């Protein structure tokens, strides 16, 4: 088994794999971290040179060409925004709203119909985890996981145990076993000053609010754990994406 | 035993979570796979150098004593420097290795051990002291050590700062 961790995406990203061949594990982890780095560089809100920053700085009402992965993620964000009644809102805390983006998924072009600031922090970690998992699988690893600061996905049998950290920071939950699935959590309790806002009222969540969602991909778990802070676990969006709310407070 | 290594061996209690990732030797090999040997060096920064590190890293230099290891290739030529550092973040204590190549670029960052707890206790000396002198022979780890945690995302600003500081130390101390 190999477990490695590096700082990416503004948090700590762990890559783990179980294989008899140590050199293969080193190679696969290196490649997985390279996948994370590529996503980090494309979708970083803080970086001056990321594709996201260039998109945010581009003029309104002009046709902008975006990369395949940018178009793919944007398409998903628009869909999630619709299904979540606007509670998944990547412009929250900044300005504008995502539905003012007109995306042409086939041509990979987008038009900002109004001024807006897109921040993919609520979904890019999950997307990066999925790309890193793809990389581990492509390298021939049979069992592994990627955990980007709590947004995590596992594949193969023999996967590690999982606990959820509770918002009071005193406990973790009982063990959860996941196979070929992802979970992600959200909450304000670690960073109350820069934490999560209700995108409709623009009021910050209280420190006890937290949610954890399980899904088959990490990008969905990551996005839906924000929606689960505001929507009941019975809401149709969780069924639509075949997701399950594991914790809600 | 120095405390960075002792820290790697801690108990999992309901309020704390710890992971050991790589040993120093494994991290060296991963960051500089072409290195044949590593030569340890003690660096003592002068006050002027400390100030220069602070300025370059845009964060206080913290310490004037640094233990580094210079990576040498098969021809005994230096190819980079490895520095081990500890940072205390908001809720976590992290030991990590940074490799700086001969041209001053960050070659790799690997976390060696990570300990998360709830808040202030990591800053308390008596709490830290409990790990000093512990070794693998001390059965203080409760349960299985392969665990993953999902929860609100921790930021790693302290570590990012730490990496910047190390790049500055290597540049100012001219280890190569």
The answer to whether the Cβ–Cβ distance between A145 and B148 falls below 8 Å is yes
Q: How crowded is the C-beta side of A195, counted as CA atoms within 13 Å?
A: 23
**Both tokens assigned to A79:** 């869909």
For residue A47, count CB atoms less than 10 angstroms from its CB and return exposed for 0-12, middle for 13-18, buried for 19 or more: middle
CB A218 within 8 A of CB A182: yes
The predicted pLDDT at position A128 comes to 98
CB B99 within 8 A of CB B82: yes
A100: left (phi over 0), alpha (psi -120 to 50) or beta: alpha
Task: Look at chain B and count its residues.
Answer: 176
Query: Mutating which of B144, B152, B164, B165 best tests the A interface, going by the most A Cβ atoms within 10 A?
Result: B152
Residues in A 147-166 with any Cβ partner in B closer than 8 A? 147-152, 154, 160-166
Report the DSSP pairing between strands A210-215 and A244-248.
Answer: antiparallel
Give the number of other Cβ atoms within 10 Å of residue B67's Cβ: 14
The answer to whether the Cβ–Cβ distance between B147 and A147 falls below 8 Å is no
Q: Is the sign of the CA dihedral A31, A140, A145, A123 positive or negative?
A: positive
The predicted pLDDT at position A3 comes to 93
The predicted pLDDT at position A226 comes to 92
Q: Which of A18-32, A102-116, B66-80, B140-154 comes out lowest in average pLDDT?
A: B140-154
The answer to whether the Cβ–Cβ distance between B152 and A169 falls below 8 Å is no
In chain A, the N- to C-terminal Cα span, in Å, equals 35
Q: Looking at the complex, does the CB of residue A7 fall below 8 Å from at least one CB of chain B?
A: yes
Of the candidates A14, A24, A4, the one whose C-alpha atom is nearest the C-alpha of residue A137 is A24
Give the distance from residue A158's alpha carbon to the nearest chain B alpha carbon, in angstroms: 11
Give the number of other Cβ atoms within 10 Å of residue A70's Cβ: 22
Of the candidates A29, A38, A22, the one whose C-alpha atom is nearest the C-alpha of residue A6 is A29
Residue with tokens 């920053």: A53
Whether the pLDDT of residue A135 is over 90: the answer is yes
Question: What sections of B84-156 are H helices per DSSP?
Answer: 125-129
Q: Give the A:B interface size as CB pairs under 8 Å.
A: 126
Q: Looking at the complex, does the CB of residue B55 fall below 8 Å from at least one CB of chain A?
A: no
Q: Which member of A3, A184, A212 has the closest CB to residue B21?
A: A3
B156 or B34: which leads in pLDDT: B34
Whether the pLDDT of residue A197 is over 80: the answer is no
For residue A160, count CB atoms less than 10 angstroms from its CB and return exposed for 0-12, middle for 13-18, buried for 19 or more: buried
Tell me the pLDDT band of A167, cut-offs 50, 70 and 90. Answer: confident
**Both tokens assigned to B11:** 């108990």
Q: Looking at the complex, does the CB of residue A185 fall below 8 Å from at least one CB of chain B?
A: yes
A116: left (phi over 0), alpha (psi -120 to 50) or beta: beta
Angle subtended by helix axes A218-227 and A124-138, to nearest 10:
160
Q: Looking at the complex, does the CB of residue B109 fall below 8 Å from at least one CB of chain A?
A: yes
Q: Looking at the complex, does the CB of residue B118 fall below 8 Å from at least one CB of chain A?
A: yes
Give the number of other Cβ atoms within 10 Å of residue A11's Cβ: 18
Q: Looking at the complex, does the CB of residue B11 fall below 8 Å from at least one CB of chain A?
A: no
CB B14 within 8 A of CB B142: no
Show Cβ contacts of residue A162 under 8 Å, excluding neighbours closer than 6 positions: A152, A154, A175, A176, A177, A178, A183, B147, B148, B149, B150
Main-chain dihedrals φ then ψ at residue B168, nearest 5 degrees = -70, -40
Give the distance from residue A115's alpha carbon to the nearest chain B alpha carbon, in angstroms: 29
Q: Which member of B119, B154, B163 has the closest CB to residue A12?
A: B154
What ipTM did this prediction achieve?
0.86
Q: Looking at the complex, does the CB of residue A22 fall below 8 Å from at least one CB of chain B?
A: no
Q: Looking at the complex, does the CB of residue A34 fall below 8 Å from at least one CB of chain B?
A: no
Give the distance from residue B47's alpha carbon to the nearest chain A alpha carbon, in angstroms: 30
- Taking contacts as CB-CB distances below 8 angstroms, the residues of chain B near A167 are 152
Main-chain dihedrals φ then ψ at residue A57, nearest 5 degrees = -85, -15
- Give kind and range of the element (H or E) at residue B67: strand B65-72
- What is the reported pTM? 0.88
Tell me the pLDDT band of A194, cut-offs 50, 70 and 90. Answer: low
Residues A84-95 have a mean pLDDT of 91
Q: What angle do CA A32, A34, A36 make, to 5 degrees?
A: 75
The answer to whether the Cβ–Cβ distance between B154 and A170 falls below 8 Å is no
Residue with tokens 């145990």: A161
Q: Which of A58-62, A159-163, B24-28, B44-48 comes out lowest in average pLDDT?
A: A159-163
Q: Which member of B14, B150, B156 has the closest CB to residue A12?
A: B156
The predicted pLDDT at position B48 comes to 94
Q: Which of A1-10, A62-71, A134-143, A152-161 comes out lowest in average pLDDT?
A: A152-161
Tell me the pLDDT band of A68, cut-offs 50, 70 and 90. Answer: very high
The predicted pLDDT at position A169 comes to 61
Whole-angstrom distance, CA of residue A149 vs CA of residue A125: 9
The predicted pLDDT at position B130 comes to 47
Q: Looking at the complex, does the CB of residue A214 fall below 8 Å from at least one CB of chain B?
A: no
């Amino acid at each position: 088994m190999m477990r490695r961790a590096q700082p990416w995406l503004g948090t700590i990203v762990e890559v783990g794999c179980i294989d008899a061949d140590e050199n293969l594990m080193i190679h696969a982890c290196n490649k997985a971290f390279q996948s994370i780095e590529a996503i980090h560089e494309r979708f970083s809100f803080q970086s001056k040179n990321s594709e996201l920053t260039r998109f945010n700085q581009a003029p309104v009402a002009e046709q902008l060409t975006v990369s395949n992965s940018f178009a793919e993620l944007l398409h998903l964000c628009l869909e999630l925004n619709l299904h979540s009644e606007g509670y998944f809102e990547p412009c929250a805390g900044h300005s504008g709203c995502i539905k003012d983006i007109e995306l042409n998924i086939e041509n990979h072009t987008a038009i900002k119909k109004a001024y807006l600031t897109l921040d993919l922090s609520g979904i890019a970690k999950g997307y990066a985890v999925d790309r890193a998992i793809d990389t581990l699988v492509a390298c021939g690893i049979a069992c592994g996981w990627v955990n980007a600061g709590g947004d995590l996905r596992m594949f193969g049998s023999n996967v590690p145990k999982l606990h959820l950290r509770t918002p009071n920071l005193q406990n973790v939950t009982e063990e959860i076993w996941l196979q070929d699935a992802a979970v992600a959590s959200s909450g304000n309790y670690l960073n109350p000053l820069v934490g999560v806002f209700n995108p409709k009222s623009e009021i910050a969540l209280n420190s006890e609010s937290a949610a954890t969602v399980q899904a088959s991909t990490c990008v969905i778990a990551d996005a839906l754990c924000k929606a689960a802070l505001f929507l009941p676990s019975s809401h149709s969006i969780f069924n639509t994406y075949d997701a399950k709310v594991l914790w809600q407070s | 035993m120095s405390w960075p290594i002792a820290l790697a061996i801690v108990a999992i209690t309901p309020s704390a979570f710890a992971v050991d990732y790589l040993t120093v030797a494994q991290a060296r090999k991963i960051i500089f796979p072409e290195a044949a040997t590593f030569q340890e060096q003690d660096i003592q920064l002068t006050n002027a150098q400390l100030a220069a590190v602070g300025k370059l890293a845009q964060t206080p230099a913290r310490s004037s004593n640094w233990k580094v290891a210079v990576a040498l290739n098969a021809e005994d030529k230096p190819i980079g420097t490895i520095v081990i550092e500890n940072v205390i973040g908001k809720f976590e204590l992290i030991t990590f290795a940074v490799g700086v190549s001969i041209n001053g670029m960050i070659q790799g960052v690997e976390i060696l051990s990570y300990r998360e707890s709830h808040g202030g206790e990591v800053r308390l000396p008596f709490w830290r002291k409990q790990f000093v002198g512990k070794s693998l022979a001390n059965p203080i780890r409760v349960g299985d050590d392969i665990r993953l945690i999902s929860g609100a995302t921790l930021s790693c600003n302290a570590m990012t700062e730490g990496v910047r500081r190390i790049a500055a130390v290597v540049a100012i101390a001219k280890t190569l």
